[in-house]
């Protein structure tokens, strides 16, 4: 599966098609094009629940330029916020806002998008969903409805111990998808 282009959403379920319309009609990814944006999270791999948002990872070379672009492009959207947060190895800029019926979260780092944890988790989770099938997918969705975040839900379903965010990445060596 190639997640670099959101065209696949047009052929997906109703919520994926709505996400595609929201992102394209509001030119969200176009406004972010200089930051190599990629839609990640649960909606692309069809494990979203009612409260799931649209997560977009970006890569910036200049933090101030990224903040200005995000603010200029989205400050008039519903409940717009932007903040800097420290992550494990870097700092991140995170913006949240509402467009149509979706909350959108833009996550920017100086790390290339395909090396960011969110993208790497997307690839591994998609691989695992394809490997273990529909029953496994439904188990993940049910765990999410019970309040578990995505990576911990996978860890529970796979009976992983330790930090779910790092444990899931151990499956990267098993994944032979063309995006790797």
pLDDT tens digits for range 109-141: 999 999 999 999 999 999 999 999 999 999 999
* Residue of 51, 26, 27, 33 lying closest to 41 (CA atoms): 51
Q: Give CA–CA dist 154/111, Å, rounded.
A: 25
Averaged pLDDT score across all residues of the chain: 93
3-class SS of residue 67: helix
pLDDT at 86: 83
- Within 10 angstroms of residue 29's Cβ, the number of other Cβ atoms is 17
Asked if the 7-113 domain carries CATH number 3.40.605.10, the reply is: no
Asked if the model's pLDDT at residue 179 lies above 60, the reply is no
Asked if the model's pLDDT at residue 88 lies above 70, the reply is no
- Output the CA torsion 116→95→105→85 (10° steps): 40
Q: pLDDT digit string (tens) for 23-68?
A: 999 999 999 999 999 999 999 999 999 889 999 999 999 999 999 9
Kindly list the domain boundaries of the chain, sorted by start residue: 7-113, 119-170
């Amino acid at each position: 599966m190639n997640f670099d282009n959101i065209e696949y959403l047009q052929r997906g379920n109703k919520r994926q098609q709505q996400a595609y319309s929201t992102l394209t009609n509001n030119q969200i990814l176009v406004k972010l094009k200089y930051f190599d944006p990629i839609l990640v999270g649960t909606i692309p791999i069809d494990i979203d629940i009612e409260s799931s948002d649209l997560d977009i990872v970006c890569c910036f070379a200049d933090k101030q330029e990224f903040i200005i672009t995000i603010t200029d492009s989205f400050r008039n959207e519903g409940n717009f916020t932007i903040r800097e947060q420290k992550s494990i190895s870097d700092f991140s800029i995170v913006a949240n806002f509402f467009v149509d019926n979706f909350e959108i979260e833009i996550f920017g780092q100086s790390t290339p998008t395909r090396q960011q944890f969110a993208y790497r988790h997307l690839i591994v989770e998609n691989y695992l969903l394809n490997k273990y099938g529909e029953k496994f997918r439904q188990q993940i969705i049910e765990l999410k409805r019970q309040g578990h975040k995505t990576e911990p839900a996978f860890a529970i379903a796979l009976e992983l111990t330790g930090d779910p965010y790092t444990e899931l990445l151990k499956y990267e060596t098993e994944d032979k998808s063309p995006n790797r």
